[in-house]
A and B are shown apart, each in its own frame.
Chain A
Amino acid sequence: MAESVDLWINGTPIRVCAGTSVAAAVLLSGEPVFRRSVSGEKRGPLCGMGICFECRLNIDGVEHCRSCQIVCREGMQVRTE
């Protein structure tokens, strides 16, 4: 469990335990808002299992990644939308 991973969330470095999902890392960084809805509402994760797409964000330049289904990797660049 001691192994850790360093990544970037909105330009800020964060260290998490290996195996942490990107969604958990974003919440851990203190940010509950993952994206803006089509009418501009603030949204965060709902289902936690890849169904609802509310936790989607930009990972390493790729838009609309479901952050709850992706495990943090070293040096990952994560941006909330």
Chain B
Amino acid sequence: MNTKVGYGIALALLLVAPFLIYPVFLMKLLCFALFACAFNLILGYGGLLSFGHAAFFGGAAYITGHAIKIWGLPTELGLLVGAGSAAALGYLIGLLAIRRQGIYFAMITLALAQMVYFIFTSAGFTGGENGLQGVPRGYALGIFDLQNNLTMYYFVLAVFVIGFLIIARAVHSPFGQILGAIRDNEDRATSLGYDVDRYKHLAFVLSAGLAGLAGATKTVVFQLASLTDVHWHTSGEVVLMTLLGGLGTIAGPVVGAGVIVTLQNYLASGPLGAWVPVVLGTIFVVCVLAFRRGIVGELHALLKKSF
């Protein structure tokens, strides 16, 4: 009950937020929040540290951009094509990576993501290091002009809520429970008769598809897809967001993404402009040393202790 009230308040805040805060910034925040939530599904609930999620995020960003700009698909369809192709890519990468655990899993995903990076660097349609620019925002459902920032914001909010609900549903379903069981003790899950690899693979594909949805939405918001999206820095950033917010909590990645994106955005124009990476690095170190459960994780623990 309490959580539902909490979500209600959060949604109400998100609905009025664009009147108080610059909407494009909020849209960026929501895209990265969805990305981090998708990542959290595989790391927080599946216990698999993927170091190649930028491949899905950026891959979908490029494919959506191309689909909308060159093929002239409507915006919603473009998003679905992007998310779908990210899920397909997730299926292929998962097929190989899921067979290993721990550091090997991370390395395989990183290596395959780097391959994807180089494909996008040299493929003609991506514009190389210039990026895919000038993607039209189009119309939502054919009527709402997304060129208007406010309309665009509510469209992005809708996409985010859908993605978030899919994740919340997956986590609280029997599927999510089994995933948690696998994370905590894979051998025991196997001995109980679960086909562990299939569950992990499905979670991986789901996570990839939602990360793709986030990347695709980002392309529509900024009207561009660039190599930054597929670069391993982005894979690292999403790990940072998830850990900072709170691993394995539903709201954690949203908070983590909020903190990181806000810092990046506001530090960039301040006197600390040249120090953004240093500040983020310091925060990460402090997080790992002092509050390992992340912001939301620590809050949960605090609440439990006090009541």
Chain B associates with chain A = no
Chain A residues at the B interface, C-beta cutoff of 8 Å: none
Chain B residues at the A interface, C-beta cutoff of 8 Å: none
